[in-house]
Amino acid sequence: MSVTARAASLFVAFIVVAGVVTFVAMYYIGGASALATVHYAASAGQVNVVLQEDPQNDSASKPDWVSYYVQDPATQKWVHTTLFSVPANTKVNVTLYGYDGCTPLRNNYFSEVQGTIGNTVTLSQFDQHGKEYLTDKTTSVINAWSDCTVGHTFAIPGLNLYVPVASPNAQLSADNLCSSSPCTPGGNPYAKETFSFMSPAHAGVFRWQCLVPCGGGFLDGNSGPMQTLGYMMGEMDVVSS
């Protein structure tokens, strides 16, 4: 093979490899950035963020992964994303619906509510018939080990915010979980949790995550939805108000 042919082959090989690498990078980076961001605007110094966590999701590729959803304040529709934005220095009121079953925390320290206003949450729980068997209980601890009523957590470590997310109790979790996402109250047991915290005074992106190793099927429950934007981890974009 002549020197020219060798050089041409090398050049073509380089172009092919560079193209593949670029495609893979763009596929993953582009895929991540394609997630929708739900924007919450302040009203009277407050925003109302509404989330739910489900035992599955409505994606075509990973339908059996546990997942969060974010409610669009304009349309009231659930968006399969974990990206949302709030204004800076604003009281953020969160309503969180827990449809997934209970799974004990890896570190039960995170049973303690931290970083919310008052370091408490207000909790209600409903059975599959819509009957409320716990009503507006304000608590600073939801013990994930003793009675198995924690499904996941909503944690923003950068703000020292750690909130255990209640689930239906163990018996209800075993029999009647919602099986089609996004979940709705009818026919499914669920927990409703509300809490508030102050967004930081400065703009920035704060990651949030679940601290329950809820990646079923993955080694020790890590990976999968635990490490994927749009499922059990996300970002809260704090924008200048």
Q: Which amino acid is at 208?
A: W
How far apart are CB 224 and another protein at their closest, in Å? Answer: 6
How far apart are CB 103 and another protein at their closest, in Å? Answer: 3
Q: Is the dihedral of CA 212, 99, 145, 142 positive or negative?
A: positive
How far apart are CB 41 and another protein at their closest, in Å? Answer: 27
CB 230 within 8 Å of CB 54: no
Rounded Cα distance between 100 and 188, Å, is 10
Told to check if 114 binds another protein by CB under 8 A, we report: yes
How far apart are CB 166 and another protein at their closest, in Å? Answer: 12
CA angle 133, 137, 142 (to 5 degrees): 95
Number of other residues whose CB lies within 10 A of the CB of residue 202: 9
How far apart are CB 73 and another protein at their closest, in Å? Answer: 27
Told to check if 33 binds another protein by CB under 8 A, we report: no
Among 37, 48, 59, 108, binds another protein (CB under 8 A): 108
Q: Is the dihedral of CA 142, 124, 69, 235 positive or negative?
A: negative
Give Cβ neighbours of residue 35 (< 8 Å, ≥ 6 apart). Answer: 81, 82, 83, 229, 230
- Per-residue buried b or exposed e for 69-93, using 16+ beta carbons within 10 Å of the residue's own CB: bbbbbeeeebbbbbbbbbbbbbbbb
Provide the mask over 147-166, with x wherever binding to another protein is found by CB under 8 A and - wherever it is not. Answer: -x--x---x-xx-x-x----
Rounded Cα distance between 173 and 196, Å, is 27
Q: Give the three-state DSSP class for 18.
A: helix
Q: Give the three-state DSSP class for 36.
A: coil
Q: Which is nearer to another protein, 43 or 180 (CB)?
A: 180
Told to check if 135 binds another protein by CB under 8 A, we report: no
Provide the mask over 161-190, with x wherever binding to another protein is found by CB under 8 A and - wherever it is not. Answer: -x----x--xx-xx--x-------------
- Residues 205-224 binding another protein (CB under 8 A) are 207, 209, 211-224
Contact region for another protein (CB under 8 A) — 38-46, 77-85, 143-151, 192-200? 143-151
Q: Which is nearer to another protein, 90 or 169 (CB)?
A: 169
Residues binding another protein (CB under 8 A): 55-56, 64-66, 100-104, 106-109, 111-112, 114, 140-141, 143, 145-146, 148, 151, 155, 157-158, 160, 162, 167, 170-171, 173-174, 177, 207, 209, 211-224, 226-228, 233
